[in-house]
Amino acid sequence: MKKTVIILSFVFVSMTAMAQTKTTAVKQIKVGNAKIAMTATPPLYIKNSKDSASYALGYRIAQSMKGQGLQDINIALFNKGLEAGFLSKAAIPDSLLDNCIKNYQDKMSQEKITANRALGAAFLAENAKKPGVVKLSSGLQYQVIVAGQDTTKPTLNSKVKVHYHGTLIDGTVFDSSVQRGEPISFPLNGVIKGWQDGLQLMTLGSKWKLFIPSELAYGERSAGPVIGPGSTLIFEVELLGID
């Protein structure tokens, strides 16, 4: 126990020393033809466990809010709301607080959907012009990378084994069995519509690139921390087996 106290004391003293010796840096950034001087965040003075916990709580709350799409907020009013919450004295009736949050989340989500759909539509329009890209009436696009020698194709009721690599249109990887080094098997009728439509056209041993508009993917829903609502998805899919 004594050893633990000594270690913690050393940590807090070190953190305080680091914070107090940190100088405020000035950096110039270019905006158009103008240069603007930007000062770095002032140093923190963390003296004890209450200080470090206070900072950590604030950071975790911000991380949680960012994950919910609530990073674009009025920090000054957020701080006032935080203070009022500790005092249990809300300027807005308590019965309306949750509605205020939901309404803003809905607004941010709709703006994100609109932006992602516009980006996806522009991408698919240009992509359809590339040699070898086939566009289906559903909006799905595909490009044959490797044509399988087998003529067998899966049906919607088949269980398939595949290797895949999934990215957003900007190249961000959100999932990849290739990177994990392990293919997966699943019922074809249990995945997104773009996969269902695309894989039923593939023959065993084929490797295709699927360009999937949001309405054939996750629609207006987010999927994990990377795929936002209204996102167009790209998959390289290799069909390894059909049951």
Catalytically active residues, by annotation: 164, 174-175, 192, 218, 235
3-state secondary structure labels for all residues of the chain: CHHHHHHHHHHHHHHHHHHHHCCCCEEEEEECCEEEEEECCCCCCCCCHHHHHHHHHHHHHHHHHHHCCCCCCCHHHHHHHHHHHHHCCCCCCHHHHHHHHHHHHHHHHHHHHHHHHHHHHHHHHHHCCCCCEEECCCCCEEEEEECCCCCCCCCCCCEEEEEEEEEECCCCEEEEHHHHCCCEEEEHHHCCHHHHHHHCCCCCCCEEEEEECHHHCCCCCCECCCECCCCCEEEEEEEEEEC
Phi first, then psi: what are they for 178, rounded to 5°? -65, -45
CA nearest neighbour of 128 among 118, 138, 136: 136
d(CA 117, CA 123): 10
d(CA 111, CA 28): 32
